[in-house]
Amino acid sequence: MFDLEDPLGVGPRARGRAALILVTGGAGFIGSQLIKGLNAKGHDDIVVVDNLERGEKFNNLARCRIWDYWDKDDFIAELRRNRKLSVSPEIVFHCGACTVTTTWDGRYMLRNNYQYSKELLEYCLEHGVRMIYASSAAVYGHSQAFSESQAALIPLNVYGYSKLLFDDYVRRWLPTFPPQVVGLRFFNVYGPGEGHKGPMASLVYHLDRQLREHGAVRIFSGSHGFGDGEQRRDFVYIDDVVAVCLWFLDHGEHSGIFNLGSGSGRSFNDLARAVIAWHRKGTIEYIPFPKELIDHYQAFTEADLGALRALGYDRPFLALEEGVNKYLDWLNACGGSIPSSSIS
């Protein structure tokens, strides 16, 4: 039964600990891999907030050590009722969001990605709780430069706009924030734990499925001034994303909004060849670029890591081929996940 005195059900033991960590979107791709990274550092007093309407996401949590789970709707309702929680987390990793970039329901997207984030931020500020949250490279739109200091960005979809709107809200208050607040603009993240995302899973995931099912990989023909398969994205392996998140956990003196990519834009042809090389077979097929995507598609991204490096983060990022090999080794060992012929 839901206990109003202890709605998270954690009891006095967790309330008396200083290192309680709250992870929203904890059953998702990045959230669950972050929890595994936290577990590896000895953290298990972790409260997960998520929506398990898609029950298969439980698989991402099954091998994680957590203290408790709270449904997202219950969490938001409690936050809005009391402007406080019955536990006092030291830090919130806010990974929860609608990440379906093809969704055009702006009312839902802004409620979910902007209003929810804003209320959670205000809670953290009121109670001196650190917050590290997921932003996105989608904020850059058709930009050919990817520095966090850029102004007048125009995203290509309402998802990117919802992320930019929250980044701008954070920026207005950043100089006065007493606790740490960090926004991480994720570029194209790939790796274990993303199979439940279906069409929104990474291109690596989909090309692997295509090759297994059809003996070929399918990528877009030329567009936006690029030749067939020469559109370029910054693909970043999930382990690198987790490593940066954990670095900020250990460096609470740093706040701001930072890019989180590999720092290298690679072509879809490069990615396709890496998948084919791992399988030691396969061909590339080019399919017509969808007309409906022309105005809403990022044909080039490449993270400028200058701001992150300036803080002192000096760990190298995995090269695309190394990351693809590591991911496909994992997929092969576990039998992969849901098949799909979609591409991103």
Q: Where do the domains of the chain lie, and which CATH numbers do they carry?
A: 19-189+236-260 (3.40.50.720), 191-234+264-298+319-334 (3.90.25.10)
Bridge partners of 266? 233
Report residue 151's pLDDT band, with 50, 70 and 90 as the boundaries.
confident
- Reported as a pLDDT band with limits 50, 70 and 90, residue 178 is confident
3-state secondary structure at position 187: coil
Q: Which range (71-75, 196-200, 240-244, 282-286) has the least confidence?
A: 196-200
Considering the candidates 190, 197, 237, 327, report the single residue annotated as catalytic. Answer: 197
Q: Which of 116, 123, 159, 237 is catalytic?
A: 159
pLDDT at 192 over 70: yes
pLDDT, position 141: 95
- For residue 13, what pLDDT band results from cuts at 50, 70 and 90? very low
pLDDT number for residue 19: 63
Task: Classify residue 32 as left (phi > 0), alpha (psi -120 to 50) or beta.
Answer: alpha
* Catalytic residue list contains 326: no
pLDDT confidence bin for 226, thresholds 50/70/90: very high
Task: Give the least confident one: 101-115, 199-213, 311-325.
Answer: 101-115
Mean pLDDT for all residues in the chain:
89
User: In the annotation, is 197 catalytic?
Assistant: yes
Written as six digits, the tokens of 172 are 């207005």
Q: What per-residue string of b and e applies to 210-221 under the rule 16 or more CB within 10 Å gives b?
A: bbeeeeebbbbe
**∠ CA 198-204-207 to the nearest 5 degrees?**
80
Return the pLDDT at 344: 33
What does the angle CA 55 – CA 58 – CA 61 come to, to the nearest 5 degrees?
A: 160
Residue positions counted in the chain:
344
